[in-house]
Structure 1
Amino acid sequence: MATEKQSLVAVGASTGGTKALATLLAQLPGQLAQYGLPVEPIIAVTQHIDSGFARALADSLNKAGSLQVSLAENGEQMESGRVYLAPGDSHLLVDCCDGNYFCRLGDGPPRDKCKPSVDALFESLAAHSLDQVIGVLLTGMGKDGAKGLLAMHQQGAYTVAQDEDSSVIWGMPGEAVRLGAVNDVVAIDEMAEKIASVLATRK
């Protein structure tokens, strides 16, 4: 299991997600500081995007805030305060060994026509201790991520979905709500504060 101080936030998004991610990542460091959290979480992100645009998205998100954003590389150890984005042609999975998290890129088939798949990311985490893990499902079309978020929720992770009013399309988060997979539903402008407050209570 992960060490007590190493927190991880897993985020899934699709249609409208690039703007939502930019908002979340720009606001999160300030909210963490407000709660006096000295260690920033690891952030793993699966955004539905073509492989040709994934690196451009990482570069754009780097400019949106102070967090370092990069495309995940197979086998690399994940570090606190960094954002790991799924490449557009591989599933991003997370392994845990000896208290550390590692990226694993999966070359399996699409899930519900999605590759990378949010369900694949969330389900990889559901195999581990989740007392320091938060699952976040943002705006997007379809159902990808809802079942995976439920699996995380059932294993003890705190889970949150973007609300309908601030979503471009409330397909993915709406399905998670219908499945009973979320602890809270919040607007995107309130997401960073919600994550920081939960991390503060779980330390």
Structure 2
Amino acid sequence: MMTRPAGSAINSPIGVPSLSADVILPLKPRPPVCTGPVIVVGASTGGTEALKTFLLPFAKDAPPILIAQHMPESFTHSFAARLDAICTVKVKEAEQGERLLPGHAYIAPGHSHLLLANIGGHWGCELSQGQPVNRHRPSVDVLFRSAANLGGRQIVGVILTGMGRDGAQGMLEMKQSGARNLAQDEASCVVFGMPKEAIISGGVDEVLPLKDIAARVLALLRTPPR
């Protein structure tokens, strides 16, 4: 069972080396063992409001949604609770080893990376308190790489407003594994850094205003993967 070490939240502190997702898990894409789509989302600066806009259109039968938002651990539980109070989907802080359920969104706790996992043939959550990646824990690149490794064409990836380049490499890896990826456009971002870097890296299929992303995700889920 995982415990929360005191003071373990890490969000881009000075002096922390910028490591890649390799320090948490290798890139090893494989055919999916689990079935059913999963939505994976990364966000940073401005993401708290952007995620509210993104999640509100999803209904109780929506595929599970995994979210890596750069945020200290003292805030992620209350952040999930605030979203849960206004969204139709159930929003909660992710827990180690839990099975993903339809109509649920799982927020990475501020003390751990969140990974998509195969738990007994079903999609689940894995948490890692390994080293920060791109100076962040949770890291978007770690979540996206885990989705690239396990989910293939069953994944829809979304990268929202944020500073830096966390998520750019992982989004490219997801695309190369068959995922369909969306990025928030510059005009609707608080900071265009993360979406811009993902676009430059070649991992993004479509760039959309924030208000249109959820509807496009739902449309993609109704369309068989290429």
**TM-score, scaled relative to structure 2:** 0.82
Name 1:85's counterpart in structure 2: 107
Superposed CA offset, 1:172-200 (max 9, x none): 00000001110100011001110000000
Which letter maps to 1:118? Answer: V
Name 2:84's counterpart in structure 1: 62
Name 2:55's counterpart in structure 1: 25
Counterpart selection for 1:127 from 124, 136, 149: 149
Name 2:222's counterpart in structure 1: 200
1:2 touches 1:101 (CA, 8 Å); kept in 2? no
**Which residues of 2 match residues 69-108 of structure 1 at below 5 A?**
69-97=91-119, 99-108=121-130
CA distance, structure 1, for counterparts of residue 199 and residue 187 of structure 2: 14
**TM-score, scaled relative to structure 1:** 0.91
Superposed CA offset, 1:25-73 (max 9, x none): 11233xxxxxxxx942010000000100001100111122111011111
CA shift for structure 1 position 96? 2.1
Superposed CA offset, 1:151-186 (max 9, x none): 001100000100000000000000000011101000
CA distance, structure 2, for counterparts of residue 98 and residue 89 of structure 1: 25
SS at match of 1:93: strand
CA shift for structure 1 position 98? 5.3
Q: Which has the larger radius of gyration?
A: 2
Q: Does 1:7 align with 2:29?
A: no
1:131 touches 1:202 (CA, 8 Å); kept in 2? no
Find runs of 4+ consecutive structure 1 residues off by over 4 angstroms. none
1:133 touches 1:157 (CA, 8 Å); kept in 2? yes
Name 1:154's counterpart in structure 2: 176
Q: CA RMSD in A?
A: 1.4
2:167 touches 2:198 (CA, 8 Å); kept in 1? yes
1:54 touches 1:88 (CA, 8 Å); kept in 2? yes
Which letter maps to 2:87? Answer: G
Stretches of structure 2 that go unaligned for 5 or more consecutive residues are 1-31
The number of aligned residues is: 194
Which letter maps to 1:20? Answer: A
Name 1:109's counterpart in structure 2: 131
